[in-house]
Amino acid sequence: MTSSTSLLEIRGLRAAYGKIEALKGVDIEISSGEIVALIGANGAGKSTLMMTIFGKPRARAGQILFDGRDITDLETHQIARLRIAQSPEGRRIFPRMSVAENLQMGADATETDETDRAAGLERVFTLFPRLKERMTQRGGTLSGGEQQMLAIGRALMSRPRLLMLDEPSLGLAPLIARQIFDAIRTLNRQDGLTVLIVEQNANHALRLAHRGYVMVNGLITLSGTGSELLQRPEVRSAYLEGGRHG
């Protein structure tokens, strides 16, 4: 399913931490304007895939193409400057910086124009009004949900072409999780933002996404549209049934 509009294309990607191989030949493709979900159990390699796209760790084999350009060997900061943004595992808010500075960090590398920055900030406030009240507070003092909003907001500040979200609903109250999923949907519909989302909550993620991939032990085992995957018995038994959403 090679298409000319493919924004991110990953071919035969392998990566390892020391001797432990975490990605064993992954193929993934994301078109412009798509929301793609990556689901799988703990330790399947989902977060590793997101980090390998940024060169941390470096790919041992395979190719990562962004907008047709080979970015496999670029430095991490150079990849970020292509407007690929990530809200990573564990959120990684700068704890001793204010919320305002955390957001500025997101904009610094790509948004040099002061009016662009202001517009970006407004966009983030519209999605997460809570952050506006917390601007002067230190990142480390925010609640889990607020930190998640900040991590996503920070990623959005670079006006990304590709947004990668690692478990945006992890540890959040259902109401806040829904808020965040709604925000992602809005961004996709209004601004045509391309999103790669990693989730353990497969039900939520597959309902949100246009397409999905299932990852098992460092390999993609299934792919299809969100509703297709939701119907598959192996997906249901592994990731849906027995869980909260049954």
Pick between residue 86 and residue 179 the one whose CB is nearest to other proteins.
Answer: 86
We find the least distance from the C-beta atom of residue 237 to other proteins, in angstroms, to be: 34
We find the least distance from the C-beta atom of residue 45 to other proteins, in angstroms, to be: 18
Using alpha carbons, select from 64, 65, 51, 63 the residue that is nearest to residue 22: 51
Pick between residue 51 and residue 214 the one whose CB is nearest to other proteins.
Answer: 51
Provide the 3-class DSSP secondary structure of residue 121.
helix
We find the least distance from the C-beta atom of residue 240 to other proteins, in angstroms, to be: 30
Pick between residue 24 and residue 92 the one whose CB is nearest to other proteins.
Answer: 92
What gap in Å lies between CA 60 and CA 237, rounded to an integer? Answer: 33
We find the least distance from the C-beta atom of residue 142 to other proteins, in angstroms, to be: 10
Using alpha carbons, select from 52, 64, 58 the residue that is nearest to residue 27: 64
Give me the residues that bind other proteins (CB under 8 A), please: 54, 56, 75-77, 80-81, 85-86, 88, 90-97, 101, 104-106, 108-110, 140, 147, 154, 158
Pick between residue 8 and residue 93 the one whose CB is nearest to other proteins.
Answer: 93
Residue 39, beta-bridge partner list? 199, 214
What gap in Å lies between CA 78 and CA 47, rounded to an integer? Answer: 20
Question: Cα angle at 123 between 117 and 127, to 5 degrees?
Answer: 145
